[in-house]
């Protein structure tokens, strides 16, 4: 029997839900009064925890997985920060009150039969990529629950990405419409254009339209670099940014070989008594 593993990009889900729960209170308060009151903050956190559990219940009901795991980022900076100090620079940090609530949310997930995994050195994205590709290699099915475009490079016969908030699969058609390349070309595309979300630089002067056209013509960045009919201005830009592109590609590429230390049977879902 083919297994179906749901991998929850936990902080992607939790932080989005928190923002939705916080927004009405932020809009309602007087902007001169500073942060939310302690009681209001507790209400937001309570609502967030409740909504997260409800979201996970819906995900499990909709996708009917045989196995599931919620994957969390480490609270410590991962290897990408050490490799490039500009990584995710300026991104809003998680509120400490929400960080302090994560254990309770993990406990609630466990009540639904879903265990949590937190990385020590890698990002949740790397753990998810490792799990997904290992499953796919054995012909098992995986659904990644996330709005993070970085997972789209993993799409295959056995790996799907689902946007829970917009209720849609982020599939090959979505990639074609949004980026005008194939899933297998996304890392090369972002190496050229950069990734503004994570503050990963690209090649100055090459935007998404140009990058996509080049990849559709040559197939890959490597083939582009080896081509003898590349326009001189593009060739010069690639040559001038060779080291930068190597760094960017390394930052953009998800690890797929992290030692996991557990078996698939450890995350099998069992009926939960309510």
Percent of the chain at pLDDT > 70 equals: 95
- Predicted confidence at residue 159, as pLDDT, reads 98
Q: Can you read off the two tokens belonging to residue 28? A: 């309602």
- Please give the torsion angle defined by the CA atoms of residues 28, 32, 34 and 35, in that order, rounded to the nearest 10 degrees: 10
Q: Which of 92, 103, 108, 98 is nearest to 22 (CA)?
A: 98
pLDDT bin (cut points 50, 70, 90) of residue 271 is low
Signed CA dihedral, 206, 212, 213, 218: sign only: positive
Mean pLDDT calculated for residue range 206-214? 97
Mean pLDDT calculated for residue range 226-246? 95
Q: Can you read off the two tokens belonging to residue 29? A: 């308060």
- The total number of residues shown for the chain amounts to 274
- Predicted confidence at residue 222, as pLDDT, reads 96
**C-alpha–C-alpha distance, residues 201 and 123, integer Å:** 19
pLDDT bin (cut points 50, 70, 90) of residue 28 is low
Q: Is the pLDDT of residue 273 over 70?
A: no
* Beta-carbon contacts of residue 69 (< 8 Å; ≥ 6 apart): 5, 6, 7, 8, 114, 115, 116, 117, 131, 267
More confident residue, 2 or 115: 115
236 is in an annotated binding site: no
203 is in an annotated binding site: yes
- Predicted confidence at residue 79, as pLDDT, reads 92
HEC string of the chain equals: CCCEEEEEEHHHHHHHHHHHHHHHHHHHCCHHHCCCCHHHHHHHHHHHHHHHHHHHHHHHHHHCCCEEEEEECCCCCCHHHHHCCCCCCCCCCCCHHHHHHHHHHHHHHHHCCCEEEECCCCCHHHHHHHHHHHHHHCCCEEEEECCCHHHHHHCCCCEEEEECCCCEECCHHHHHHHHCCCHHHHHHHHHHHCEHHHCECCCCCCCHHHHHHHHHHHCCHHHHHHCCCCCHHHHHHHHHCHHHHHHHHHHHCCCCCCCCCCCHHHHECCCCCC
What are the chain's domains? Answer: 4-29+39-90+118-171 (3.40.50.1010), 175-252 (1.10.150.20)
Mean pLDDT calculated for residue range 75-84? 90
Name the strands in the sheet holding 141-145, side by side, starting at the edge strand that comes first in the sequence.
115-118, 67-72, 4-9, 141-145, 159-163, 168-169
Q: Is the pLDDT of residue 274 over 50?
A: no
**C-alpha–C-alpha distance, residues 150 and 146, integer Å:** 10
**C-alpha–C-alpha distance, residues 66 and 64, integer Å:** 7
Q: What value, to the nearest 5°, has the Cα angle with vertex 163 and ends 260 and 67?
A: 35
pLDDT bin (cut points 50, 70, 90) of residue 27 is low
192 is in an annotated binding site: yes
Q: Is the pLDDT of residue 272 over 80?
A: no
Mean pLDDT calculated for residue range 60-76? 94
> In the block, which residue shows the tokens 């209170």?
25
**C-alpha–C-alpha distance, residues 16 and 222, integer Å:** 37
- Predicted confidence at residue 74, as pLDDT, reads 85
Q: Answer yes or no: are the C-beta atoms of 200 and 251 closer than 8 Å.
A: yes
Mean pLDDT estimate for the chain: 93
141-168 residue pLDDT tens: 999 999 999 999 999 999 999 999 999 9
Q: Is the pLDDT of residue 226 over 50?
A: yes
pLDDT bin (cut points 50, 70, 90) of residue 39 is confident
pTM of the model: 0.94
């Amino acid at each position: 029997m083919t297994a179906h593993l749901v991998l929850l990009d936990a902080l992607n889900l939790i932080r989005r839900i928190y923002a939705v729960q916080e927004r009405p209170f932020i809009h309602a308060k007087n902007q001169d009064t500073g942060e939310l009151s302690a009681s209001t903050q507790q209400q937001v956190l309570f609502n967030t925890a409740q909504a997260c559990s409800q979201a996970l219940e819906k995900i499990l009901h909709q996708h009917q997985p045989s196995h599931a795991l919620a994957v969390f980022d480490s609270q410590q900076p991962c290897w990408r920060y050490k490799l490039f100090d500009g990584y995710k620079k300026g991104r809003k940090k998680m509120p400490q009150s929400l960080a302090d609530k994560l254990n309770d949310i993990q406990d609630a997930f466990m009540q639904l039969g879903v265990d949590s995994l937190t990385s020590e050195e890698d990002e949740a994205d790397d753990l998810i990529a490792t799990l997904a590709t290992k499953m796919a290699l054995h012909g098992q099915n995986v659904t990644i629950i996330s709005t993070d475009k970085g997972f789209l490079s993993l799409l295959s016969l056995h790996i799907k990405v689902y946007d829970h908030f917009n209720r849609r699969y982020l599939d090959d058609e979505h990639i074609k419409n949004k980026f005008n390349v194939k899933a297998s070309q996304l890392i090369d595309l972002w190496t050229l254009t950069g990734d503004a979300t994570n503050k990963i630089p690209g090649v100055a002067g090459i935007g998404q339209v140009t990058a996509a056209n080049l990849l559709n013509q040559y197939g890959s960045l490597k083939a582009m670099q080896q081509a003898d009919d590349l326009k001189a201005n593009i060739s010069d830009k690639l040559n001038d940014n060779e080291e930068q592109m190597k760094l960017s590609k390394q930052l953009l590429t998800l690890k797929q070989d992290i030692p996991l230390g557990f078996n698939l049977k450890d995350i099998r879902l069992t009926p939960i008594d309510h």
